[in-house]
Amino acid sequence: MLEILQFDFFRHALIVGFLASILCGVIGTLVVINRLVFLSGGIAHAAYGGIGLSIFFGIPFLAGTLGFTLATALVMAAITFHAKHRSDTVIGVIWAVGMALGVLFVDLTPGYHVDLMSYLFGSILTVTRIDLFVLTGTSLFVILSVGYFYHDLSSMAFDEEFARLRGVPVGGLYVFLVCMIAVAVVLIIRVVGLILVMALMTIPPFIAEGYAASLRSMMILAVALSALFTGAGLFLAFAFNLTSGAAIILAAAAGFFLSLGLKRLSLRWKKNSP
């Protein structure tokens, strides 16, 4: 089993999976505690518009998609900032429009048939060296900036109005957070696909939330869980010749249901032994 570690492509896939786990664990934690899961889903789907745009105009994938997705994310941030809990309709519309634009752009591109599957599930095994560099740089940036704003971010998530009274730049941090989500989504779609982004951004933080005593430990635990699921999924994919993205999601889902079961058991145990 371990001999597959000798293959370059597999080692690369593991490293990429780990870097994606850092992004997903840290940003996903912020997404989950700020209740931005639907917004992130909207950004991830609208990103397809950027993919279509890049293909149609023949611009490099990363630049085109990143530009389009950041613009979409900023529009969403502007619309949702004042009504965070009542903005699901707007997000739903942008979500659909982004995808439709992507499909139309691809239709209009002569002689081009993009594989929608690789967008949904990615292709972690065909990652390039440049992807690795970009991912590493972004992960470092995310860790440093979240570390710098750590107290402000947790104060904002706990009670936004109080945070604002204490001088926390709530509006700026919200826009910053939405932009980080957009960047992470674009980078990770490239390597593991849209479905996996959403799975990795929500499942590990959700499990971690139940055990963590602080935001910091929630992030670290989420990164670790995410890396565990990614690694397990990759091994399964290789051993049984499966699609890697789908295998990783199933590993994460197994973890999700396992943690639900454990929670249930520990509750019952607590009840029976007061």
Partner 1 sequence: MSREIIRVEDLWFSYNGHPVLREVDLVVREKAFLALIGPNGGGKTTLLKLMLGLLKPDRGRIRIFDAPPAAAAHRIGYVPQGIHIEKGLPVTALDVVLMGRRMPGSKGRGHGNRDKIAARHVMEQLGIWDLRDRPVRGLSGGQRQRLLIARALATEPEVLFLDEPTANVDAKGQGELYDLLRALNARMTILLVSHDLMVVSSHCHAVACVNERLHYHDEAEITDEMMGAFQCPVDLIAHGHPHRVLRSHED
Burial of 72 (0-12, 13-18, 19+ CB in 10 A): buried
Q: Does 33 bind partner 1 (CB under 8 A)?
A: yes
Among 68, 149, 174, 229, binds partner 1 (CB under 8 A): 149
CA distance 207 to 125: 27
- Considering only 152, 176, 231, 232, the residue that binds partner 1 (CB under 8 A) is 152
By beta-carbon proximity to partner 1, the closer residue of 31 and 188 is: 31
Selected binder of partner 1 within 144, 165, 253, 262 (CB under 8 A): 165
- CA dist 235 and 251 (Å) reads 10
CA-based nearest residue to 156, from 27, 25, 30: 30
- CA–CA separation, 233 and 251 (whole Å): 6
Where b means 16+ CB within 10 Å and e means fewer, 207-242 reads bbbeebeebeebbbbbbebbbebbbbbbbbbbeeee
Selected range binding partner 1 among 99-107, 121-129, 148-156, 228-236, rule: CB under 8 A: 148-156
Intra-chain end-to-end CA distance of the chain, in Å: 46
Q: Does 151 bind partner 1 (CB under 8 A)?
A: yes
Q: How far is the CB of 99 from partner 1 (least distance, A)?
A: 30
Number of residues that bind partner 1 (CB under 8 A): 26
Query: Smallest distance, Å, CB 20 to partner 1?
Result: 23
With CB under 8 A as the contact rule, the residue among 164, 224, 236, 246 that binds partner 1 is: 164
Closest CA to 127 of 7, 17, 12, 244: 12
Q: How far is the CB of 219 from partner 1 (least distance, A)?
A: 10
Q: Which part of the chain contacts partner 1 (CB under 8 A), choosing from 5-13, 183-191, 211-219, 225-233?
A: 211-219
The answer to whether the CB of 189 falls within 8 A of the CB of 134 is no
154 binds partner 1 (CB under 8 A): yes
Distances (CA, A) of 145 to 3, 44, 67: 38, 22, 21
Minimum distance from residue 213 beta carbon to partner 1 (Å): 6
DSSP 85: G
Is 195 a residue that touches partner 1 (CB under 8 A)?
A: no
Stretch of 11-19, 73-81, 209-217, 239-247 lying at the interface with partner 1 (CB under 8 A): 209-217
If binding is defined by CB under 8 A, does position 167 make contact with partner 1? yes
Stretch of 38-46, 161-169, 240-248, 261-269 lying at the interface with partner 1 (CB under 8 A): 161-169
Which residues would be at the binding site for partner 1 (CB under 8 A)? 33, 148-152, 154-155, 157-159, 161-168, 209, 212-215, 217-218
